[in-house]
Each structure stands twice: as C-alpha cells, then as structure tokens.
Amino acid sequence: MSGIGALGEFGLIKALTAGLPGASGLLCGPGDDCAIVQMGNTRVLLSCDAMIEEVHFRRDWMTPEAIGRKAAAVALSDIAAMGGAARCLLITLGCPANTETEYLSRLYAGVSDLTRQFDVPVAGGDTVRTLNGIMLDIAVVGEMAPDVEPRYRSGAKPGDIIAVSGYPGSAALGMTALERGDAEQTALIEAHTRPRPRLKEGAWLARQTGVHAMIDVSDGLAQDLGHIAERSGVRVVIEKDKLPVSQEMRSYAPTTGRAPEEYALSGGEDYELAFTIAPDAEADVCAHFTAAFDLPLTCIGTVQEGEPAVLLNGHPITQRGFDHFAAGK
Amino acid sequence: MSGIGALGEFGLIKALTAGLPGASGLLCGPGDDCAIVQMGNTRVLLSCDAMIEEVHFRRDWMTPEAIGRKAAAVALSDIAAMGGAARCLLITLGCPANTETEYLSRLYAGVSDLTRQFDVPVAGGDTVRTLNGIMLDIAVVGEMAPDVEPRYRSGAKPGDIIAVSGYPGSAALGMTALERGDAEQTALIEAHTRPRPRLKEGAWLARQTGVHAMIDVSDGLAQDLGHIAERSGVRVVIEKDKLPVSQEMRSYAPTTGRAPEEYALSGGEDYELAFTIAPDAEADVCAHFTAAFDLPLTCIGTVQEGEPAVLLNGHPITQRGFDHFAAGK
C-alpha cells in the first residue's frame, strides 16, 4: 500500500474512477471539466469543487466574502470551460461548532455576490460540523444551449492554434505577494482572491465552429494543456516568447528568482480559458473575441501530431502545475 | 457575535439562506429535501450531503466500504423523499495526503456497490487534500417523472394520517451498540452502517394521489415531522403506542436506560420515509405498500389544525433529534 501523495491527484482520480460502474446514461463521465447527462431534451452539465481552509485558502489572507466568492467562481469556471450556461448551485458548508455566525454570513454574502452577478441562484446545500477548519464544496449545474456543442478536452486536432485568455500565472504570483505581505501588488493579489468565471466568454467560444478543445486553467497552463494533449492524443507545442506576461508579472516575478514565463506555465488558480482553434478560424475568432470581451487573448502555440506531451520551444516541460496531493504541498 | 452551536443547524441554515438572491428559475429552493429546477422539459432534483470523519463516522466503527455506501445512500435518500428518480451523483472526496490509496479504493468500492444496486452512475466529482480526516460530500441529481408531482414538506393537510416506513430509532441504537462494542446487535448495527435509500418506495408513494407531504427521517422522527408541521402550518399529533418498535429495539433500548419509543422519536440517520395520507386513501395505500415492498409501514398519528408543533399523546415534544451543531454533540 502507498500513500496518495506519491500517486498525485490525477493518478488518484484514475485509480478511483477505474472501479466505478460504467457511465450508462452519461454523455460525458469523469475526466472532463463537467459531467454531462441527458435529462429529457436537455444536456445537463454537472461539476463540483471543494475548498479547504489552510489548503486552498487562509483566513488571514482573504476576507470571508472573498473566500465565498472564489469558491463559487472556481466551481462555475468548469461550466464555462464546456461552453455551457450556468443554472444554479448547491453549497456544502462545513465548519467547527464555535465558528462565528457573522463569519459564515459574510462567507455566504461572497457567494451571493458572485451568483447575483452571473444570475445563478443558490438552490440548496448542506451544513455540517467539522472538527477543524472551514470546508466549502460547491456543486454547479448548467446546461448546453440546444444549438451548441460542448467543448471537450479531447477535441484538439493537429494543426490547431492554442489560445489562452488573460494572464495565467498572475494568481500564483498574487499568492506569493500575500505570503510576503506585499500588499501593493493589488492586481496580482486580486487575480488570486477574485478570479472570474469566464462564462460569457466560454459560451461565446462554444458557438464558434473553429473552436475545438477547451479547458479552464486551474492547475497551471502546462498541466491543463497536458490534459488536452492526453485526451486528444496530440502534442501541444508552446512558444515561450508568445506566453502572455502582464506588466505586473514582469516586474514582480524576478523578485522571486523565477521568470514570469515560469509562472505563466505552472502557476495555478487563474481560471482563464485555454482552447484550440482551427488555423483558418484563428484570425476571425481572435478579432471578434477581443472586440466582444475586455480580456486579452493570446495565441501561444500549435497542436501537432505525436505522442501526447506539452513541449516548450521543442523541449518537454517537466514542471508540474498545482497538484493538491504532491509531496511538499 | 455568537457561535453557531447556540443557533443550531436549522437556525444557521435559516440565517445563511436569508441573504441569498431570490430563487428565480427554481421550482423549489432551499428548505426541502431537494431543490427542483426546471431544465427544458425536465424537473431536475438536486441535493447534497456531506459526511465528516469523527463527526458522522469513525474509521474503527465502519469499514471504508460501509462509509462510502452510507454516504451515497444518505444523499440518494433525499431524492426518495421527493418521490423522484435518481439519475447520477458526484463525489467530492477530501483526505490527508498520507491516506492509503487502498483505503480510498475501498471507500469508492462502497459507493459503487450502492450506485450499481440503484443504477445511478457516478458522473464526476472532485478530490482535495485535507489537513485532518476524511470528508465525503455527495451531490445527487434526479428527476421527476413527467406524470408525477413532487411531494413537499409543505403538503400536509389537517385530517391526514401520518405514516412511517421501517423502524426509526434503530440506527441510533446501532450506534450505541458500536460505541459499547455490543457486536451481537447485528440488526441495529446494520441499520446504522447500511441504511438503504427508499427510492422505489418514494417513487411509488408519489404516484398515490392520497399521499400529501413526505420527508426522509434523517434527524429523528420528531424533528423531521416538525419540518412538515412548520412548512405545512399544521400540528402533528403522534400516539406513543402506535410508534413502530422492533423486537431488537424493545430488547436493547432498556439497557441504555431509555424507552425504545424515545429512540423511535429522536434517533437520527434511519433514512426511512415519513409521509401524510388523506384519510380516505390510508387503507388502500397501506395495503398496497405492504404488498409491494418488504418493509413495515406504520400509521402513528394524525395531522390537525393548529400552531405548528409536534405533540406526543397531546403534549409538545421537547426532545430534539440530531442537530449537527448542538452543544455537546
């Protein structure tokens, strides 16, 4: 027997789901951003994301409102990554019996704030006692519009261009700024504490026929593109010079002894969208995306035939993104 | 500010959900066994239930298979209580990084065992690291058959008869047997460790026009009937002599210094169904239920006009059922 730390989160998921009953009735089972189940005439999207105190957040780094807000954003991001429309969510809250009611009310206010913004009502949930620390698990329910096909991790085709929204790596640098108490790094800290689910952007992208595979960047660009590579059976080739790096990343990353591109590749928790586009659709999608959304979009590489892998300037990337069970985390 | 222990689980839920955005688009929001959302031509049922190590289960009392099995059963029971059909579930698993993979595989095997039995595939989930102990949160998705109306807690009418399946209180006595090491109390221990979601029974009951309100007995009969009383604006009157008491309850309860009827009223975690029936439908429903299912059904009292309350032989019940946040738990 071995501890799951050695196996890693994705090895663990693979080991655990291997024994589950066949996914009869599911259009998409475990292994993508959302599960999809056909219910009547509707394709229902389902996903859940848990945040654990001292693992995913610290009370002294984030207000309870920000923690609630982020938990909802993280969960809704999975609906965005399929190109779906969010419909409602369920909140499971765990906390010790001595938790202040006001603290929990502020946490819920953060959830409300985000759900109001995206018009996604809280349909229900559960509250349980824990022995230590707060746990927030949010299950989200969405649907695919009847005339839109979901975008799977498995949809990438050789020749596709790889694009990514925003500035992945900002959230990881923001966490470093919080750890160090560098409060003046407001843009980076906000990337960590107030990620936005790219719901409008994802739904729009799923309406573009040239957009093939899509994923949200939760564990780091290299690792998440690795999921696309593996599920699509393709090689993902990134050009370092094309990686989006904001002014804030460029000036702050060197103070940590690492290049901003390292953060762009391996920093997690940005919840931006990464996707692949047919080459003949690239110009059109990029131009319209930029016109429609106040969000940078950057083409960073190409999809090629070959053994599933992520290459940077021709070399396999060995850096890992955020793995919840990896040693030393 | 005050700790939530004083408020109790239901006070807390009321305080927290008060600030949530209006439940637009929801057929049923927080406050019943499941939420119901209309998606296309389907009424989708949603619920989630979390189990925390050392709060809801102990590893030395239950095998990992039993823990996984029970977590799934508890969550599916909420679908049963609405009269719905279960469609799929999501598993959020939290555990420390040093947890043995084999232990988790056995936990998942328990979930699989139950989901196979009820033909409810695992659609997805999340795995996260915790600092201490295992956390299992299961979100369930179901649907109402097009020709069946969901049974709400609010549906009870004065004059209704109150019925309950099985032997509530057995699970609480089973927990006592586990605490004491009374391994020979197999029937009671099994009630605690292997509850069954009453999915077939609930779906059948929802097809009987005389069945009005329904709930699953998770927190103790008195407390759960209290929810029906409050939501329906009625008085629930129970007759002590009619409470179902099994042979095992009758012989084991006295060894704890309490009457078996006390367990029947306030013991939690049985996941039986309690419901109210129009008086003219009682005989028919009871006869057909008993013929269709290998499960006792007992009429224990009546619904009356009056301030919402639960009375036993005419006296208000002061005992509380299981409250996750109550002092001393």
Q: What is the pLDDT of residues A268-279, one digit of tens each?
A: 999 999 999 999
A11 CB contacts (<8 Å, ≥6 apart)? none
Higher-confidence position of A180 and B9? A180
Please, are residues B148 and A70 in contact by the beta-carbon 8 Å criterion?
A: no
Cα-Cα end-to-end distance for chain A: 21
Q: Measured between CB atoms, does B58 come within 8 Å of chain A?
A: no
Averaged pLDDT of chain A: 91
Q: What mean pLDDT do residues B109-136 have?
A: 93
Q: At residue B324, does pLDDT exceed 50?
A: no
Q: At residue B327, does pLDDT exceed 50?
A: no
Best residue in A129, A216, A329 for a mutation probing chain B (most B CBs within 10 Å): A129
Q: Measured between CB atoms, does B122 come within 8 Å of chain A?
A: yes
Please, are residues A320 and A247 in contact by the beta-carbon 8 Å criterion?
A: no
Q: How far is B219 from chain A (nearest CA, A)?
A: 13
Determine the residue type at B7. L
Q: Exposure of B50 by Cβ count < 10 A (0-12 exposed, 13-18 middle, 19+ buried)?
A: buried
Please, are residues B240 and B312 in contact by the beta-carbon 8 Å criterion?
A: yes
Q: What mean pLDDT do residues B94-119 have?
A: 94
Beta strand pairing call for B235-238 and B297-304:
antiparallel
A328 CB contacts (<8 Å, ≥6 apart)? none
Q: Measured between CB atoms, does A292 come within 8 Å of chain B?
A: no
Q: Dump pLDDT digits (tens) for A125-146.
A: 999 999 999 999 999 999 999 9
Q: What mean pLDDT do residues A201-223 have?
A: 96
Residue with tokens 């509530």: B168
Residues facing A97 on adjacent strands? none
Q: Measured between CB atoms, does B54 come within 8 Å of chain A?
A: yes
Nearest to A19 among B97, B108, B137 (CB): B108
Q: How many CA atoms lie within 13 A of B5 on its CB side?
A: 10
User: What ipTM describes this predicted complex?
Assistant: 0.90
Q: Dump pLDDT digits (tens) for A150-179.
A: 999 999 999 999 999 999 999 999 999 999
Report the candidate in B88, B28, B70, B232 with the shortest Cα–Cα distance to residue A124: B28
pLDDT for A31 equals: 83
Percentage of chain A lying above the pLDDT 70 cut: 91
Please, are residues A266 and A319 in contact by the beta-carbon 8 Å criterion?
A: yes
Q: At residue B316, does pLDDT exceed 70?
A: yes
Q: At residue B34, does pLDDT exceed 60?
A: yes
pLDDT for B5 equals: 66
Please, are residues B50 and B136 in contact by the beta-carbon 8 Å criterion?
A: yes
Q: Dump pLDDT digits (tens) for A282-302.
A: 999 999 999 999 999 999 999
pLDDT for B325 equals: 52
Q: Dump pLDDT digits (tens) for B274-303.
A: 999 999 999 999 999 999 999 999 999 999
Q: How many CA atoms lie within 13 A of B276 on its CB side?
A: 29
Residues in chain A: 329
> How far, CA to CA in Å, does A127 sit from each of A89, A120, A245, B62?
14, 20, 41, 23
Q: At residue B77, does pLDDT exceed 60?
A: yes
Cα-Cα end-to-end distance for chain B: 21
Q: What mean pLDDT do residues A81-100 have?
A: 95
What residue ranges define each of the domains in chain A, with the CATH number in brackets?
A: 4-143 (3.30.1330.10), 153-316 (3.90.650.10)
Please, are residues A252 and A185 in contact by the beta-carbon 8 Å criterion?
A: yes
> How far, CA to CA in Å, does A84 sit from each of A176, A283, B142, B154?
33, 24, 20, 34
Looking at A233-281, list the stretches that DSSP marks H as alpha helix, in order from N- to C-terminal side: 247-252, 260-266
Q: Dump pLDDT digits (tens) for B141-179.
A: 999 999 999 999 999 999 999 999 999 999 999 999 999
Note if the pTM is more than 0.95: no
DSSP string, B276-316: EE-GGGHHHHHHHHHHHSSS-EEEEEEEESSSSEEEETTEE
pLDDT for B11 equals: 72
pLDDT-based confidence at B328, cuts 50/70/90? very low
Determine the 3-state secondary structure of B324 from DSSP.
coil
Q: Measured between CB atoms, does B44 come within 8 Å of chain A?
A: yes
Report the candidate in A310, A320, A326, A157 with the shortest Cα–Cα distance to residue A225: A310
Rounded CA separation B108/B93 (Å): 10
Residues in chain B: 329
Q: 3-state DSSP helix/strand/coil percent for chain A, to nearest 5? A: 40, 25, 35
Rounded CA separation B212/A292 (Å): 51
Nearest to A21 among B54, B97, B112 (CB): B112
pLDDT for A30 equals: 86
User: Residue B35 and residue A124: Cβ atoms within 8 Å?
Assistant: yes
Q: At residue A324, does pLDDT exceed 60?
A: no
Rounded CA separation A100/B161 (Å): 41
Contact residues on chain B for A88, CB-CB shorter than 8 A: 25-26, 35, 37, 46
Lowest-confidence region among A2-6, A128-132, A311-315, B191-195: A2-6
Q: What mean pLDDT do residues A245-255 have?
A: 97
pLDDT for B317 equals: 86
Nearest to A39 among B2, B26, B39 (CB): B39
pLDDT-based confidence at A66, cuts 50/70/90? very high
Please, are residues B272 and B216 in contact by the beta-carbon 8 Å criterion?
A: yes
Lowest-confidence region among A10-24, A44-58, B244-258: A10-24
Q: At residue B138, does pLDDT exceed 70?
A: yes
Percentage of chain A lying above the pLDDT 90 cut: 84
Rounded CA separation A9/B99 (Å): 12
DSSP string, A67-108: HHHHHHHHHHHHHHHHT-EEEEEEEEEEE-TT-BHHHHHHHH
Q: Measured between CB atoms, does A82 come within 8 Å of chain B?
A: no
Contact residues on chain B for A129, CB-CB shorter than 8 A: 52, 55, 324-325, 329
CA B257: distance to chain centroid? 26
> What tokens does B216 get?
């699953």
CB < 8 Å from A in window 142-201 of B: 143
Q: At residue A11, does pLDDT exceed 90?
A: no
pLDDT-based confidence at A86, cuts 50/70/90? very high
Q: At residue B1, does pLDDT exceed 50?
A: no
Rounded CA separation A3/A261 (Å): 32
pLDDT for A317 equals: 86
> How far, CA to CA in Å, does A75 sit from each of A134, A248, B186?
17, 27, 42
User: Residue A124 and residue B327: Cβ atoms within 8 Å?
Assistant: no
A147 CB contacts (<8 Å, ≥6 apart)? none
Q: What mean pLDDT do residues B98-115 have?
A: 93
> How far, CA to CA in Å, does B84 sit from each of A72, A161, A165, A234, B79?
27, 45, 41, 43, 5
Report the candidate in B23, B309, B18, B47 with the shortest Cα–Cα distance to residue A92: B47
Q: What interhelical angle do A186-193 and A170-180 show, nearest 10?
A: 110
Contact residues on chain A for B82, CB-CB shorter than 8 A: none
User: Residue A128 and residue B51: Cβ atoms within 8 Å?
Assistant: yes
Report the candidate in A197, A212, A179 with the shortest Cα–Cα distance to residue A280: A212
DSSP string, B60-103: TTS-HHHHHHHHHHHHHHHHHHHT-EEEEEEEEEEE-TT-BHHH
Q: At residue B319, does pLDDT exceed 60?
A: no
CB < 8 Å from A in window 198-237 of B: none
Per-residue burial over A55-79, b if 16 or more Cβ lie within 10 Å, else e, is: bbbeeebbebbbbbbbbbbbbbbbb
pLDDT for A327 equals: 38
pLDDT for A21 equals: 61
